[in-house]
Structure 1
C-alpha cells in the first residue's frame, strides 16, 4: 500500500522529532544522575574531611578525660545534631557521664550511676558491643532490646547509642538524643560510629594516664593523712584532723565523724566541718538515715542521688542547714578495727554522682587509717587510766 508523499514526510519528520526528544530526555537523565553522583561525592568528601579533622583533634587532645569528652561532643556536632548529647565511661558497675547536655543546656558532671540492678540500654550496649539506632521510642518501645533508664522527666523520641570499644572491652558510650521522632538515620549512625572508634583510643589512653596519676596521688595522700593522724594522741584532735584533711584534700563538705554509743548503738557526732552539727550534738539512731544504716549494716552506704534516696535526712537531727539541704551525694564509711565498729566517717557533696569506685576506694583507705588511729589512741588512754588507777 502506497502512502501519499506528504503523509510519508510528516511521519518521517515526527519520528525524527520523537527520536530527538527521547535523546534529549536520556541525555538530561544521564546529566542529572551525574550531577547527583557528583553532589553525593562532594558531600561524602566533605563529610570525610570533617570526620578526619575531628579524628585528628580527638586523637591529639590532652590527656584529661573531661576536657577530651567535651572535645568529642564539639567535634560530633560538626556531623550530627548534638544538642542533647552525652559521653560516658564505665567504671566497674558504674556508668560515669563526663559530658552531658540536654537541649543545649550543660548538665553538672561528672555524674555516676550504678548499673548493677537496672543497666537499661547502656548496659545492653556494653554487653553486646553493638550500637543502637532508635527512630521513635514510642513506636519501638516494645521491640527494643532493653528498656531505657530515663533520667529526664521529658524522655527523648529518637536516639543513637554507640559503644566506644578498646580491645575487647566497651569502655564507654557516645549518645545523641532528640525530642523529635526520626531525627537520626543510618548516615548519622555511621558518622558517629567513625568518631566513636577514634574517640575510644583517645579515651583509653587518657584513662591509663589518669589512673596512674590518681593511684600515685591517692597513695601519697593516704600515707600523708595516716602519718599526720597517727602522730596525734588526743581523740578529739584525731577527729578534727580527719574531717579537716578530707575536706582540704578532696573538697567534700560537710565531712563528719560519729562515734558509737555502746549502750544504744546511736551514732554520736564527734567532729564536723559544719560547726552547726557539733553545736546541736547530733545523735542518730541505728538504722535511721544513711549514717544509721551504715551502723546497722557495718558496711559502706552510698547515695549518689540523695533526692531519690529515702534514707537521706535533709534535717540531720534538728539541724536544717543550707550545706546539708544542698547535699546531692553522701557516703557513710564504718570505722572498724578487729571486727569492732568504732564509728562512722560521713562525707557529703553538692555534686550528684560524686562517689564512684575511685572515691569509694580512697575514702575507704582513709577510714581504715582513721579507725586504726582512733583504736590506738583509745588503747593508749585506757593504759594511762589503768596506770594511774
Structure 2
C-alpha cells in the first residue's frame, strides 16, 4: 500500500482540510462546509494495528470510491488518525475532528475504551460514530446515542456463539485469561453469564495487561485451575501469545483453550497446526460465497491480505452511511440517523440487516471451526462453517437494553 499523508483525500475537490473553526451549521444545500468528511480513527501503530490500522482506512476508502466519490453532488473525503489505544487520545482527536475539521462521521474505533470515549463525544457534538472494531455492549446500553452505531459484532454475540456452543457440547467448567480493560472484562462477564445459565461454573480468572508478551505465569494459573475450558478473553497479539503459551506449557489433555475473539488474521499468524479445531464466532469470512470473494479479492489487491470482519464492516457501514445521506438529501445528523435506521442493509456483509433504536446493527453471525492443515485445499482456506446464528439470537434482546432512547419506545 502506498504511504499516506496525515490526511487522505478521496474526492477530487478544492476543499482545504484542517481549517480551524469549521461551522457545524447546515448550509442552504443541506451540507455542512460543502463536503462529507469521514474520519477513520484506528490503531495505526499498536497491538491492534494488524487487525485494524491501515487496512481499515483502505476499506473505508474503497467504499467511498465505489460510491462514486460524491453524494448528491457533494464531494466525500476521508482522513485518518491514530488513537494509540488511549481513551483520552481518542476523545481528544474526536473533538478536534468534529469541532475544527468538519468531520461528519468517525469509523472503525478499535479498542473498547477508545470507542466508549468517542461515543460520548459523538453524542455531545451530535455527530456520527460507527464502531466496527470494538466489542463492548455498553455502546448500545449506557453509552447509546442516536448518532452512534455498533455495526460488526459485540461481546454478547461472541458469548452466545462460541461460549454457548462449547457449554452445550459439554465444556462446563471455565477459567479465563482476560485482558484487563473494558473489552476483555466485558467479554469475560458475558461468557460467564452464558456458562452459569447453562449449568456450568466459572472456577477463576487471571487478568493481564494489554500487550503482554510473557504469558507463562497466566498459563500456569490456567493449568492449575483444572478447568475443562480455558477461555481467552483477549484478541490480537495477546490472544496469539496466550494460545502459544498454553501450547508451550502443555495444558493437560482434559483442558481445551477457547478463543472468544479469534480473528481471521490470528489464524494466519498461529498457523493451522496450532489453531486447528478452535471454534470462533465471526461476522464475515472472505470465502463464504461469491460476493464475499469478489470484495475480498479486490481488497487483497490493495493490501496483500484477506479482509477480516472489521474491514468488511468498515466498508459496509460506510456505504450504508453514504446511502442514508443520499436518502436524507443532507448530512444533517438527525436526518441521517433516521434514514440509517429506516433502511435495510443488503450487501456481501449482511442480508436484511437493520439498526435498532439503540444503535445495534442486527445481522447474522457465524460459528466457524478452524480447519486442519490436511483439510485446507488452497491459500487462506482456513475455516469451515459450523452453524449460522440468526441476528435476533446473536445480539442482546432489545428488551434487555438499558439504552435511554428506548424509554419512549
TM-score by length of 1: 0.21
Which structure's CA Rg is the greater one?
A: 1
Greater length-normalized contact order (CA 8 Å, ≥ 6 residues apart): 2
TM-score by length of 2: 0.21
Which structure dedicates a bigger proportion of its chain to helix?
Answer: 1
